Structure 1
């Protein structure tokens, strides 16, 4: 167990600054999402898969809280090699997320909202992956806690994200897109 040394606290305060930046980024995403929701609804979009959205918000909020608390409740030494690698992965996940946001434009949302008649996007990261934003979320959910050796949070978020959310969200999103495409062909 790591002692709460002066160096540990300095590293922890830097970690809190990173977490604050991640929280600010999440807030910006919600602003973008709300704006895009208005655009989508004004263009005939409809929201689907509403039932799992509160669980997704709760899980993502819990990730932030757990990242703050685990180092205090189960202190481990800050490992620079792991921490620096994890910060690079956090930044990479943000870059991928904003590549998704820029590629989808008004169509990007934290909710499942499909505007009938619009074709599937096959450019940007969507050339390579069907759901690159979820890759960004998964990568961040692993890397953000590992910046400060919070492996319990990293494992718990990853498992809960995969089992409780992505298992439902990706099929709901796929079904919504399929329905919209079928409607536009009729």
Structure 2
């Protein structure tokens, strides 16, 4: 088995675990009175993320990832983004979710990476949507999916900001 399979498998398992954590957090929050807001665009986020992995597979499998200085640099960026991803998720704890879910009476998180920027996880995903395909030499994916992610964030971030403002009030 080559490095492609190991890395691709690692990323897929990581994302599936995150979906399970998000479902658990969603259940926990809703049991405490949380509500989902502006969910109409969520299915498109799921579609784009699913197609992202399919696109990499179709474009790059079964190419061998040849570790060069460039790929080593990309791999380094990938692992740094994973550290930031874990920092974001652990900072939000049970409030982290893939949907916009608001728990009345909760406080806005302003620590960790959220002290530095308002939506650090979306920034991380944007970086990953470039770095991961480049690692796999999936150049079309590295162009198309960051653009799709950016378009979705133009919809999602204003909805999320409005929801977060309600928490702040």
Query: What's the TM-score once normalised by structure 2's chain length?
Result: 0.92
- CA pair 169-129 structure 1, distance change in 2 beyond 3 A: same
Separation (CA, whole Å) in 1 of partners of 2:51 and 2:94 = 28
The 5 A counterparts of 1:21-60 are 21-60=10-49
The 5 A counterparts of 1:1-186 are 13-72=2-61, 78=66, 80-163=68-151, 165-182=152-169
- CA pair 145-46 structure 1, distance change in 2 beyond 3 A: same
Contact 2:3 2:64 in 1 (8 A): no
Separation (CA, whole Å) in 2 of partners of 1:70 and 1:47 = 35
Gaps of 5+ in 1: 1-9
Contact 1:142 1:154 in 2 (8 A): yes
| Alpha-carbon RMSD | 1.9
Separation (CA, whole Å) in 2 of partners of 1:60 and 1:137 = 10
Query: What's the TM-score once normalised by structure 1's chain length?
Result: 0.84
Q: Which has more radius of gyration?
A: 1
Contact 1:82 1:146 in 2 (8 A): no
Gaps of 5+ in 2: none
Moved over 2 A (4+): 75-79, 179-182
Separation (CA, whole Å) in 2 of partners of 1:23 and 1:76 = 18
SS where residue 85 of structure 1 aligns?
A: helix
